A and B are shown apart, each in its own frame.
Chain A
Amino acid sequence: MLAFLIRRLGQSVFVLIGITLFVSFTIRLSGDPAVALFQGASAPTPEQLASIRQALGTDRPFLQQYAEFVAGVARGDLGTSFRTGGPVAAAVMQRFPTTVALALSSLAISLLLAVPLGVLAARRRGGVADLIVRVVSLLGLSFPNFWLGIMLILIFGVRLRWLPPSGYEGPVSLILPSLTLGLILASTTTRLVRSSLLDVLNEQYVVTARAKGIHENAVVYLHALRTALIPLVTFVGLQIGGLIGGVVIIEKVFAWPGLGSLALNAIAVRDYPMLQGTIVVLAVFIAAINLLVDMSYALLDPRVRVG
């Protein structure tokens, strides 16, 4: 287990180096932050641009800037934002809980919906309930998340006035954005639970359990479901990355002050340090989740450790 952990940690370090190099390089290709400051409102002279570049430190060679960034990351210092003049680490860590809260509550909603519905559909395979679940989950897959978000805002925020349409006003503000992401994620998850449970229900040991006269509920919940949910663990781990991508869009729709809006604004004004810092923190987070998933898988299935 230890050897597995060390090997995976080593891989994660390479992934992080690759990501930071890629992000640092591509955002520098995308435009000059000194020019972006002028916003088409005034024409900078070459001397003015030079003095701004010097103040920002973007006049130095790329590899030097990158090396300083990586050295900073190793010390836990993500640099200073071009735009706010403040430390990037503080800004990112302030946003981190709001984004994670959104991602986790979306995940929770999707699981709370997907597991019971998936089980229901599998048990009534071919029945009306199965058909409804399958059609609804297919519909859910087809909705763009921003469209669903705006619909939920119009229904629950504007028409019924039950919930705040946008912003960050405490736990109640979480409901609409996490419902948006959760409903869409639940669509895929429901289908996974259904097919996984159907597979297990055909296994020999389930047939044996039934033959022994065990009550059907006990067969499904005590014997089959636990095995059927193992692929779900992997699936959820893989979804975290995609979920963070969805969060970026949903944060914009719901004016949710998280890492997504931080990253998008940083791109808009070419705030290199802020974007790099946001990406590093998100990458570490996603890598950590995947590591946890792999470890839990390794615990569940000994073959992974040697393979």
Chain B
Amino acid sequence: MKTRLLALTLALALGLGFAQQANTLTIAQAQDPQSWDPIDTFFLAWGMIGSSIFDGLVERDLDMEIGPGLATSWEWIGDDDDRLRFTLREGVTFHNGEPFDAEAVKFTFDRLLGEEGAAGPQQSNYTSIDRVEIVDAMTVDLVLASPDPVLITKLAGYGAMIVPPGYVAENDDETFNRMPVGTGPFKVVEYVSDDRLVLEANPDYFGGAPSVDRVVFRFIEEPSTRVAELQAGRVDIVQGVPISLAGSVENAPDASIVPVGSPTVSALRFNHCLAPTDDVVVRQAIAHAIDREGIIDVILEGYGTPIASFQSSMSLGFDPELEPYAYDPELAQRLLADAGVASDATVQIDFIGSDAIFREVAQATASMLEAIGLNVELVTHETNTYYNEMVPENRVGHLYYSGWGGWTLDFDNTAGLLYGTGQFWNPCFTSQEVDDLLVAQRQTYDQDEREAILQEIARLEHSLLIDLPMYQHQNLWGVADRVQGFQAPADDRHDLTAVSLAN
């Protein structure tokens, strides 16, 4: 502690602590995931930084295309397509000098699928893998226990990032959580919990050395403070600029807003176990009563896109032909009368209280539903309680908020978890037709065939009004003018190798 204080004081005396350093890129994000081990977390905050430190066998670029990573090629072999063979990249070393080879791949997956992985959440994403077999030093087979058409995408991120066997074995769990070692474009040099993570360029990176020498990630939870740091010229890139502050960033002399379509969609889900929302005609009335374009224009200040399905336009299964329900309050009123709903019936909308934007959306929605003759009650919850108890136990009202968008950009994730009968987050809705389609698309690796089935599910979602998608989000990044070559990542996972800084 004393030495740290002394070092800080010295740095300060030398004027280092204050101004931006010449070739150091500083990025402010809200959350510190507290552990950098790939198998420990589902946090977006981990994903933002994880791909700078680690690599997967395959990588997904900023245009969301899958390409070679630590493996240069792969093919399905075996009679039942139950074996995926990877040819590994030669000459790659981990940041600590360990060689990358088939042993490292096997170690990574044995760890993820074994006892250590069982103590964390990532294992659940990779249970289709039965085991890894080493063919030779630079060839491995992933042997599958069950078909998994999304597997290759999932190998590009999070739990499947390759870790160094020697380093993990020699150090305790906490050391790896704090000072991780990967093969990525940057290596970790310093981590101060809840304050900063300092990365240094890996000159030997197989994809070429990054342009910047260092990247400092700062963890600043308060959005107005993050924006203030950008305006003060001490931070180059800010994640999660709130809509209310977008204007002040645009007005700043040396920074601007970069919006990017996010995989996340906000929806109001219907409670199919409660009257009157168990009646599809009532659900249609509600869908026609809400002016979503108006909500996007006024509350989201245009930073959102109307959407007809609970998936972003990037997702496999998105059907561009599908149109959102039109705003038509008169039709809504007639439908409500047709359904025989009493004129003073009450519906309850549940949402997360800390979400300031959705609070306004919920209030606007309430006034629109009141305009067609419904009484509306708004009920708020705390995030974890909401997702972990209220929704799974169906202790929510007629309409309830959900924000969803898996990083795999595949409707299998959302539809499987939210529409499949008996799923954790689907306590109520059930449809044999949807269940059969969900099973069918998991049995084939033909992505065109899968897309057709997933689009069919999306059409059912729309016609049955399983839920009411409100809008696709746009993530707002605040970026200083001196930053060049930055492409805002749609899935929040940075690729900083091409970013450089003007002097």
Contact, CB under 8 Å: B424 / A44: yes
Judge whether A252 is part of the interface by a CB distance below 8 angstroms: yes
Binds B, one of A59-67, A79-87, A196-204, A215-223: A79-87
Q: Is A108 at the interface (CB under 8 A from chain B)?
A: no
> In the complex, which residues of chain B have a beta carbon less than 8 angstroms from the beta carbon of A142?
none
User: Are B18 and A164 in contact, CB atoms less than 8 angstroms apart?
Assistant: yes
Contact, CB under 8 Å: A169 / B35: no
B residues within 8 A CB of A270?
384
A45 to B196, CA, bound (A): 34
Task: Report B394-413 CB contacts with A as 1/0, cut-off 8 Å.
Answer: 00000000001011000001
**Beyond A44-B121, A48-B118, A255-B220, is A167–B384 a contact (Cβ under 8 Å)?**
no
- Complex partner residue of A52 from B118, B218, B222, CB under 8 angstroms: B118
Q: What residues of chain B have their CB less than 8 Å away from a CB belonging to chain A?
A: 1, 5, 8-9, 11-12, 17-18, 32, 34-35, 40-43, 118-121, 123-125, 172-174, 177-178, 192-196, 218-222, 224-225, 228-229, 231-234, 383-385, 387-389, 404, 406-407, 413, 417, 423-425
Q: Could you give, for residues 62-105 of chain A, a 1 whenever the CB lies within 8 Å of some chain B CB and a 0 otherwise?
A: 00000000000000000001011111000100100100000000
Asked if residues A169 and B233 are in contact (CB atoms below 8 Å), the reply is no
Judged by a CB distance under 8 angstroms, whether A229 is at the interface is no
Contact A42 B121 (CB under 8 A): yes
A206: interface (CB < 8 Å): no
Query: Most chain-B CB neighbours within 10 Å: which of A39, A154, A161?
Result: A39
| Contact B12 A170, beta carbon cutoff 8 Å | yes
Q: How far is the CA of A270 from the CA of B389 in the complex (A)?
A: 14
In the complex, are the beta carbons of B32 and A150 less than 8 A apart?
no
Chain A residues near B43 (CB, 8 Å)?
A: 39
Q: Are A40 and B404 in contact (CB under 8 A)?
A: yes
A268 to B32, CA, bound (A): 12
How near does chain A come to B257, taking the closest CB pair, in angstroms? 17
Asked if A20 is an interface residue, CB under 8 A from chain B, the answer is no
For B173, list chain A residues within 8 Å (CB).
85
Give the chain A neighbours of B121 by CB distance below 8 A. Answer: 37-39, 41-42, 44, 48, 52
Shortest beta-carbon distance from B181 to chain A in Å:
16
A232 within 8 A of B: no
A-B contact pairs, 8 of them (CB 8 A): A44-B424, A81-B34, A150-B224, A157-B232, A165-B229, A166-B222, A170-B11, A253-B222
Q: How far is the CA of A56 from the CA of B12 in the complex (A)?
A: 42
Q: Are A35 and B388 also in contact (CB < 8 A) when A42-B121, A94-B1 are?
A: yes
Q: For B40, list chain A residues within 8 Å (CB).
A: 83
Chain B residues with Cβ below 8 Å from A252 are 221-222
Chain A residue, CB-CB nearest to B233: A161
B218/A37 in contact, CB under 8 A: no
B218-A170 in contact (CB<8A): no
Decide if B231 touches A56 in the complex (CB within 8 Å).
no
Q: How far is the CA of A150 from the CA of B225 in the complex (A)?
A: 7
Contact call B34/A84, Cβ cutoff below 8 A: yes
Return chain B residues, CB-CB under 8 Å to A3: none
Once the chains are docked, how many angstroms separate the CA of A261 from the CA of B193? Answer: 10
CB closest residue in chain B, given A35: B388
Contact A36 B219 (CB under 8 A): no
Additional A-B contact list (5), CB under 8 Å, known A150-B225, A257-B193: A35-B388, A40-B425, A83-B40, A164-B234, A166-B222
* Shortest Cβ distance from residue A125 to the other chain B in the assembled complex, whole angstroms: 41
Q: Is B228 in contact with A172, judged by CB distance below 8 angstroms?
A: no
Residues of A within 8 A of B193 (CB): 84, 91, 94, 257, 262
Contact B118 A51 (CB under 8 A): yes
CB distance from B357 to the nearest CB of A (A): 17
Q: Which of B32, B194, B231, B406 has the most CB of A within 10 A?
A: B194
Contact of A135 with B by CB under 8 A: no
Which residue of chain A is the closest to B192 with respect to CB atoms? A257
Q: Taking the complex as formed, is A31 at the interface, i.e. its CB lies under 8 A from any CB of chain B? A: yes
Residue picked from B41, B225, B383, B389, most chain A C-beta under 10 Å = B225
Binding site for B on A (CB under 8 A): 30-32, 35-45, 48, 51-52, 55-56, 81, 83-87, 91, 94, 97, 150, 153-154, 157-158, 161, 164-172, 252-255, 257, 261-262, 265, 268-270
> Within 8 Å CB of B234, what residues of A?
164-165
| A48 CA to B112 CA, complexed, in Å | 13
A36, A43, A261: the one within 8 Å of B221 (CB): A261
Contact between chains at B220 and A166 (CB < 8 Å): yes
Q: How far is the CA of A64 from the CA of B213 in the complex (A)?
A: 51
Whose C-beta in chain A lies nearest to the C-beta of B403? Answer: A40
Q: Is the CB of B124 within 8 A of A44?
A: yes
**Is there an interface contact between B124 and A42, defined as CB atoms closer than 8 Å?**
yes
- A97 near B42 with CB under 8 A, answer no
> Contact between A41 and B406 (Cβ–Cβ < 8 Å)?
yes
User: Measured between alpha carbons, how far is A150 from B248 in the docked complex, in Å?
Assistant: 14
Q: Do residues A164 and B17 form an inter-chain contact, with CB atoms below 8 A?
A: yes
Q: Which partner residue on chain B sits nearest A161 by CB separation?
A: B232
CA distance A45 to B424 in the complex (A): 8
Question: What distance in Å separates the Cβ of B252 from its nearest Cβ neighbour in chain A?
Answer: 9
Cβ–Cβ contact B384 & A265, under 8 A = no
Q: Which residue of B lies closest to A53 (CB)?
A: B119
B123 neighbours in A (Cβ, 8 Å):
48
| Cβ 8 A contact of B177, one of A39, A55, A85, A158 | A85
- Chain B residues lying within 8 Å of A44, measured Cβ to Cβ, are 121, 124, 424
Given A38-B121, A43-B423, A262-B194, decide whether A268 and B384 contact each other with a Cβ distance below 8 A: yes
Q: Which residue of B lies closest to A48 (CB)?
A: B124
- Contacting pair A158 B228 (CB below 8 A): yes
CB-defined contacts of B231 to chain A, threshold 8 Å: 158
Cross-chain contact B124 with A257 (CB below 8 angstroms)? no
A43 touches B424 (CB 8 A): yes
Query: With a CB–CB cut-off of 8 A, which chain B residues contact A153?
Result: 224-225, 228
The contact of A36 among B177, B178, B388, B425, by CB within 8 Å, is B388
**With A85-B177, A158-B228, A252-B222 as given contacts, are A261 and B8 in contact (CB-CB < 8 Å)?**
no
Is A86 touching B177 in the complex (CB atoms < 8 A)? yes
- Cβ 8 A contact of A170, one of B17, B192, B229: B17
- Which of A157, A170, A261 has most B Cβ within 10 Å? A170
Q: Which residues of A contact B222 (CB under 8 A)?
A: 166, 252-253, 255
